[in-house]
Amino acid sequence: MQINISQGGVPKTAISRAAVGRLGIEGDERAHQRFHGGPRKALLLIASEVIESLKEEGWPLFYGALGENITTVGLDHRSWRPGMQYRLGPVLIELTTPRQPCATLNRYGRGIQRRIYDERVAALDPQSPHWGESGFYAAVMQGGRIEINDIIQSAAHS
């Protein structure tokens, strides 16, 4: 749906194409590198369906607002698990861990972190009603160039 980068922090801004390497999208900076980035947190994926649902609840969000690099469409965030691999065009990624949202997201309303992430998500329990809502970090297994029209599919089907 959308590729997003920033000079650090949120929101991230949409771009039409990107070069993706081991540490993420070229030109994307992270404000707090102690918590964000690195090879196991190279990309952050969030489902557009989550953002749309949160908007319906009244949260003032838009694609890129939650700091995601990739805003997906049509992927069931409830099915995301660590170790799952996807292809984004020529890029191969592996999901690593749910994203733990921080106070930076307070700009969209206090309590948004609790709305999208709970103790069960922290314990890696996919039965949490909030599973996948905060997004999922991914490692880049094979880099390349992506564009917004690229198909995202399970690597098992490529």
Q: Is the pLDDT of residue 89 over 70?
A: yes
- Tens of pLDDT, residue by residue over 53-88, are 999 999 999 999 999 999 999 999 999 999 999 999
Encoding tokens for residue 157?
């089907």
Residue 158: predicted pLDDT: 44
Burial code of 31-52, b = ≥16 C-beta within 10 A, e = fewer? eeeeebbbeebbbbbbbbbbbe
Number of domains in the chain: 1
* pTM, entire model: 0.92
- Residue ranges making up the domain that contains 131: 2-157
Residue 145: predicted pLDDT: 97
Q: Tell me the average pLDDT of the chain.
A: 92
- Start-to-end CA distance of the chain, whole Å, equals 20
**Are residues 98 and 131 in contact, defined by beta-carbon separation less than 8 angstroms?**
yes
Q: How many other CB atoms sit within 10 Å of the CB of residue 17?
A: 12
Beta partners for residue 106, in sequence order? none
* Residue 19: CATH number of its domain: 2.40.33.20
